[in-house]
């Protein structure tokens, strides 16, 4: 997708007549847009949501539905876990940093139980049962999962508690989540116009944003927003020009999106002087099965381990992509493979099997002496159930016994619902950087002043994340800060 479509602002004085008028205009109907629209409408504002697609959803509806919540939610309590906002904030600061926003993390953690109740009140169902193993998306409808809180180094930095909350759907719960949020926005009175793409912001003489221009079936529309415009257009992973400029490491990998993350909202705001943050950062879904990785070892192209394999798998992906690269392998034995039920292996099979480590290394194309040394050192302490190099938790540590197998992560994984060959780079990515916003979603300019009438949330904004990512924090901060942006936009004068 081109990054060169003009987003130059329209001078309000040049708009002869408005085709549509509303109090709050929300651009983009994913989780952040739905949350903003609901709260703005509940606050009494007239709300219109535009989406370039034929209905609400965006990446949110395709997602796993995991939402990062904690501090003592009813689901955590029902599963027997004590948690508090300080422990949650300590985990998030470490896992989402460096560069994570401390004020946003503190507010998000302090209000997390309330946000859980908000989601539950919108009809999002959470089952009070725990999925107790590393996973991308558990194959059950368990409502709670670990997202690395019980793995090193986080287990030593903050009292561990599982905080991945999932709508009660088998596998991917994003559609269920979006159905609930869109219905809530509709019921609160928000209206929507689909197949309508916002193209630029309309700006008054004093610099205030007073609306947006849009295109619908080839017709240009001028939309006036009396109180505010909320940009919830998603990130920019589908815009290769923007990736090349800001996040070149993310270029060339599978894009985790609905195909609409062209960065248009970010660019529209940049065109009127908005500041951006953390544009080089991204989530890296690595093509491995977490249950297999935890039971084996993950090595790079030099045959060396580089991370504890029981951590949140996105951290393995980030460590690989931003470290030695995606030439990455899972090495394991037959017992480890067999312990993971077939349904949870997502179609992944060993790419190489051999009787000795040296033979396996040759098949993999990695230095044999290095891989043999890695396995020897791992096995030496694994007999005592410890991992002195990367502190993998004892429950996953056991000597690997030949014959050994290697799985090339570039061979890909295949969720049970999909078929076909997925061979690629081994990484699937989306962007985390975006517009610099306040706690209430006001977009800041490059001098740090709020741009009147302009708000943003979701992946169009930079909220909780620094360089790190944990699953659930995207839907989590999208809905949480989307709500705050909607409330603020509704009262803006």
Contact positions vs ligand FAD (CB under 6 A): 27-33, 50-53, 57-60, 62-66, 197-198, 232-234, 256-258, 260, 264-265, 430, 458-460, 471-476, 478
Q: What pairing do the DSSP bridges indicate for beta strands 219-231 and 20-27?
A: parallel
Query: What CA–CA distance (Å, rounded) separates 325 from 304?
Result: 12
Strands (E), 256-311: 276-277, 282-286, 297-300
By beta-carbon proximity to ligand FAD, the closer residue of 64 and 228 is 64
Query: What CA–CA distance (Å, rounded) separates 155 from 319?
Result: 18
Cα–Cα nearest to 314, from 429, 183, 200, 438: 429
The minimum distance between CB 193 and ligand FAD, in angstroms, equals: 9
The minimum distance between CB 225 and ligand FAD, in angstroms, equals: 14
Distances in whole angstroms, Cα of residue 491 to Cα of each of 19, 43, 227: 23, 8, 7
By beta-carbon proximity to ligand FAD, the closer residue of 50 and 293 is 50
By beta-carbon proximity to ligand FAD, the closer residue of 76 and 471 is 471
Query: What CA–CA distance (Å, rounded) separates 409 from 292?
Result: 12
The minimum distance between CB 117 and ligand FAD, in angstroms, equals: 19
The minimum distance between CB 476 and ligand FAD, in angstroms, equals: 6
The minimum distance between CB 212 and ligand FAD, in angstroms, equals: 8
The minimum distance between CB 263 and ligand FAD, in angstroms, equals: 8
The residue written with tokens 């090193």 in the block is 152
By beta-carbon proximity to ligand FAD, the closer residue of 170 and 335 is 170
In the structure encoding, which two tokens stand for residue 357, read together? 């480590």
Q: What pairing do the DSSP bridges indicate for beta strands 144-145 and 10-11?
A: unpaired
By beta-carbon proximity to ligand FAD, the closer residue of 64 and 291 is 64
By beta-carbon proximity to ligand FAD, the closer residue of 72 and 265 is 265
What does the DSSP assignment read for 115-148? HHHHHHHTT--B-S-EE-S--SS-SS--SEE-SS
The minimum distance between CB 239 and ligand FAD, in angstroms, equals: 10
Q: What pairing do the DSSP bridges indicate for beta strands 427-431 and 450-456?
A: unpaired
Query: What CA–CA distance (Å, rounded) separates 268 from 223?
Result: 15
Beta bridge pairs of residue 201: 212
Residues 6+ apart with CB under 8 A from 130: 79, 142, 144, 145, 162
By beta-carbon proximity to ligand FAD, the closer residue of 113 and 135 is 135
The minimum distance between CB 390 and ligand FAD, in angstroms, equals: 25
Query: What CA–CA distance (Å, rounded) separates 161 from 31?
Result: 25
- The angle, 0 to 180 degrees and rounded to 10, between the axes of the packed helices 31-42 and 473-491 is 30
Torsion of CA 264, 60, 441, 285, to 10 degrees: -80
By beta-carbon proximity to ligand FAD, the closer residue of 76 and 196 is 196
By beta-carbon proximity to ligand FAD, the closer residue of 29 and 346 is 29
The minimum distance between CB 1 and ligand FAD, in angstroms, equals: 11
The minimum distance between CB 422 and ligand FAD, in angstroms, equals: 13
Which residue is closest to ligand FAD by CB?
30
By beta-carbon proximity to ligand FAD, the closer residue of 25 and 332 is 25
């Amino acid at each position: 997708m081109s990054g060169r479509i003009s987003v130059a602002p329209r001078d309000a004085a040049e708009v002869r007549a408005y085709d549509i008028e509303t109090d709050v205009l929300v651009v983009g109907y994913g989780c952040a847009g739905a949350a903003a629209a609901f709260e703005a409408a509940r606050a009494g504002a007239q709300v219109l949501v535009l989406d370039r697609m034929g209905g609400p959803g965006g990446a949110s509806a395709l997602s796993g539905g995991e939402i990062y919540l904690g501090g003592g939610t009813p689901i955590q309590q029902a599963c027997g876990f004590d948690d508090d906002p300080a422990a949650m904030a300590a985990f998030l600061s470490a896992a989402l940093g460096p560069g994570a926003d401390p004020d946003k993390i503190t507010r998000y953690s302090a209000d997390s139980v309330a946000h859980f109740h908000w989601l539950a009140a919108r009809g999002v169902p959470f089952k009070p049962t725990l999925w107790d193993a590393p996973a991308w998306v558990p194959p059950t409808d368990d409502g709670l999962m670990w997202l690395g809180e019980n793995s090193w180094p986080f287990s030593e930095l903050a009292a561990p508690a599982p905080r991945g909350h999932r709508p009660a759907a088998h596998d991917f719960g994003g559609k269920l989540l979006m159905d609930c949020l869109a219905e809530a926005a509709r019921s609160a009175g928000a209206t929507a116009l689909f197949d309508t793409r916002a193209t630029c912001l309309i700006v008054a003489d004093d610099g205030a944003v007073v609306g947006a221009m849009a295109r619908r079936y080839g017709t240009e529309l001028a939309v006036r927003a009396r109180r505010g415009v909320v940009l919830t257009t998603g990130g920019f992973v589908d815009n290769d020009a923007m990736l090349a400029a800001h996040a070149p490491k993310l270029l060339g990998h599978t894009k985790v999106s609905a195909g609409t993350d062209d960065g248009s909202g970010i660019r529209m705001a940049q065109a009127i002087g908005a500041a951006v943050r953390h544009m080089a950062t991204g989530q890296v879904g690595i093509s491995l099965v977490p249950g297999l990785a935890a039971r084996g070892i993950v090595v790079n192209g030099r045959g060396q381990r580089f991370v504890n394999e029981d951590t949140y798998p996105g951290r393995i992906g980030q460590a690989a992509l931003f470290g030695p690269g995606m030439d990455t392998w899972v090495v394991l034995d037959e017992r480890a493979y067999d312990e993971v039920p077939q349904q949870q292996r997502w179609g992944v099979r060993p790419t190489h099997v051999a009787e000795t480590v040296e033979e396996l290394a040759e098949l993999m194309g990695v230095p044999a002496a290095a891989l043999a040394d890695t396995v020897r050192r791992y096995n030496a302490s694994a007999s005592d159930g410890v991992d002195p190099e990367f502190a993998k938790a004892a429950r996953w540590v056991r000597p690997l016994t030949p014959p050994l197998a290697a799985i090339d992560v570039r061979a890909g994984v295949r969720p049970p619902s999909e078929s076909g060959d997925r061979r690629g780079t081994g990484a699937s990515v989306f962007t985390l950087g975006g517009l610099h916003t306040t706690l209430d979603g006001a977009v800041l300019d490059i001098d740090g002043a709020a741009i009147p009438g302009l708000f943003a949330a979701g992946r169009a904004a930079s909220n909780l994340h620094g360089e790190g990512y944990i699953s659930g924090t995207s839907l989590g901060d999208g809905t949480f800060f989307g709500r705050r942006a909607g409330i603020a936009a509704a009262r803006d004068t």
